Amino acid sequence: MRRFGTLLLRPEIVFLILAIGLGLAAAAAYWASRATVLTVAVAREAGTEPAVIQAYADALAKRHKEIRLKILPFDDVRDSAEALGDGRADLAVVRPDVALPDNGLTLAILRDQAMIIASPEASGITAFPDLDRKRLAILAHRDADETLIRSMLAHYGLTLAGQDSTGPLPPGQVALVEVGEADLTAALTRKAVDAVVSVIAPTAPAAQRIVESVQAVSPTGKVAFVDVENADAIVARMPRLQMVSMPAETFGGRPKVPEADVHTVGASYRLMARASLSRPGAADVTQHLFELRSGMANATSAADYVQAPAYDSTAGATSARLPIHPGAVDYFEREQQSFVERYETWIYLVAFLGGGIGSGVAWVGQRLSRLRRERIEEATDRLLAIRQEAQDAPDPERLIMLAREIDDLAGDIARHALERPTEARTLSAAAIAIDAARSTIKRVIAAGRHGDDAPALAGQTVTAGPETA
């Protein structure tokens, strides 16, 4: 134990311990400050959403935020939703009416879409039953959009005809014809299609161009829109859809397009997070998305359509048909946790352990200091015992051995005093004991009690003294 204490208190050992402590502290600081990388699943055919997510990832990296995004591309929204559901992704762009993962909670709405069906006013197509045996132009034929159109047609007893259908359509069928945006006006003019359908944000520039193409074909310049009556009943039956209202003059004021509010249904592309993502993590993702939105809009105008999901209360947000992540609610209601609140458990634990470790270190220091003091005190006691033994020494050989032991003890005391701080009182007592022991041996020699061996013994003792002075 004494040897261990002496080794532990050597300067190089103390320096090594301090270096290790500083290294651990630096590692802990690096771990705490490093960015959290979250994987986000995005479908390539999701429209403008891939560009929005890429702009968000670039903005996070540029601003050196504590969140980073790793984009995981997929073919369609079903795959991206599945990636979130099976844990391959932390975030995902999801279209709930197509596929909704069991563990998905909403952070933000990237784009609200409405199903817009427009035709020249003379066509008289203003309701879903009017679509019977009609051909609808569709500009971007996405599986997700076709699923929504098929569901709405089925609600009114209509079905989609095959893609290769030609000639007149049988009753109860509607055909989808893929048409390029540049060819839309010509297709309407030659009656190749009767109307155009698009699942799109009404305020998007593409929606404006579509309506203008229809308006250019209409002799009166007016556009007829399919209005969905009792849209709330349809949403109640298909809860992953949502009601959408297009106010009058959404597409122009002279003439009014539309002339009155149009009610329809739609879907949304949502940024969802897995339910197990921490509240602080979800709050940070949501906060940065909205804080960086204006800068993201410089890279893609679709960032302007990002919005918060609507809800009436906190309870309503977390219990809605499409629940919102509690972390996102914390941001929307400005109830994000502070640094202390987030890590209070760790702070208390570190403080508790730090106090215990500090007390332990102090105890070890006191114990080692006591061991140093005891070592010198034991040497001092031995020196006093040598003094007494020298007075009664029976022969010169014994005195020689005692003189050498005095030298050894003096050397040990000197090394202790040089290597570690020692109380002055302890050192003074040790010095007095050394002088007393040597003085006793000299007096015994001077008294001549050892006959012819006295001169040799006197030389031995005198020689030993200066070496340890």
**Are 210 and 198 spatial neighbours (Cβ–Cβ below 8 Å)?**
yes
For residues 323 and 375, membership in a common domain is answered with no
For residues 252 and 118, membership in a common domain is answered with yes
Residue 8: inside a domain, yes or no?
no
Residue with the two structure tokens 């969140």: 67
For residues 281 and 258, membership in a common domain is answered with no
Q: Report how far residue 466's alpha carbon sits from residue 368's, in angstroms, rounded to the nearest whole number.
A: 31
For residues 106 and 123, membership in a common domain is answered with no
For residues 172 and 300, membership in a common domain is answered with no
Write out the chain's pLDDT in tens, 469 residues. Answer: 444 444 444 555 555 666 676 666 555 555 545 578 999 999 987 678 999 999 999 999 999 898 999 999 998 899 999 999 999 999 999 999 889 999 999 999 998 889 999 999 999 999 999 999 999 999 877 788 888 999 999 999 999 987 666 778 899 999 999 999 999 999 999 999 999 999 998 988 889 999 999 999 998 889 999 999 888 889 888 888 888 889 999 998 888 899 999 999 999 999 999 999 999 999 999 999 999 999 999 999 889 989 999 887 777 677 778 899 999 999 998 765 554 454 456 556 666 665 666 666 555 555 555 656 667 777 788 777 877 777 776 577 777 787 888 888 887 777 777 766 667 777 787 788 788 878 887 887 776 554 444 444 444 443 333 333 3
Q: What is the pLDDT of residue 365?
A: 57
For residues 389 and 311, membership in a common domain is answered with no
| Residue where a domain terminates, one of 227, 247, 266 | 266
Q: What is the pLDDT of residue 1?
A: 44
Residue of 171, 170, 196 whose CA lies nearest to 183: 196
Compute φ and ψ for 40, nearest 5 degrees.
-120, 125
3-class state of residue 196 by DSSP: strand
Q: What is the pLDDT of residue 326?
A: 92
For residues 413 and 392, membership in a common domain is answered with yes
Q: How many domains does the chain have?
A: 3
**Are 395 and 344 spatial neighbours (Cβ–Cβ below 8 Å)?**
no
Residue 17: inside a domain, yes or no?
no
**Are 465 and 440 spatial neighbours (Cβ–Cβ below 8 Å)?**
no
Residue 28: inside a domain, yes or no?
no
Output the CA torsion sign for 392, 395, 396, 400: negative
For residues 129 and 175, membership in a common domain is answered with yes
Q: Report how far residue 305's alpha carbon sits from residue 47's, in angstroms, rounded to the nearest whole number.
A: 13
For residues 102 and 122, membership in a common domain is answered with no
Q: What is the pLDDT of residue 197?
A: 95
Residue 425: inside a domain, yes or no?
yes
For residues 422 and 282, membership in a common domain is answered with no
Q: What is the pLDDT of residue 444?
A: 78
**Are 291 and 63 spatial neighbours (Cβ–Cβ below 8 Å)?**
no
Q: Side-chain half-sphere of 235: how many Cα atoms within 13 Å?
A: 17
For residues 118 and 105, membership in a common domain is answered with no
Q: What is the pLDDT of residue 96?
A: 92
Residue 316: inside a domain, yes or no?
yes
Q: State how far the alpha carbon of 441 is from the alpha carbons of 90, 383, 387, 392, 405, in Å.
A: 86, 12, 7, 10, 12
pTM recorded for the entire structure: 0.64
For residues 367 and 435, membership in a common domain is answered with yes
| Residue where a domain terminates, one of 337, 372, 388 | 337
| Residue-range definition of the domain harbouring residue 374 | 342-467
Q: Exposed/middle/buried for 226, CB within 10 Å: 0-12, 13-18, 19+?
A: buried
| Residue where a domain terminates, one of 251, 266, 281 | 266
The domain that holds 302 is classified in CATH as 3.40.190.10
Residue 68: inside a domain, yes or no?
yes
Q: Report how far residue 152's alpha carbon sits from residue 63's, in angstroms, rounded to the nearest whole number.
A: 44
Residue 6: inside a domain, yes or no?
no
Residue 308: inside a domain, yes or no?
yes
Q: What is the pLDDT of residue 403?
A: 80
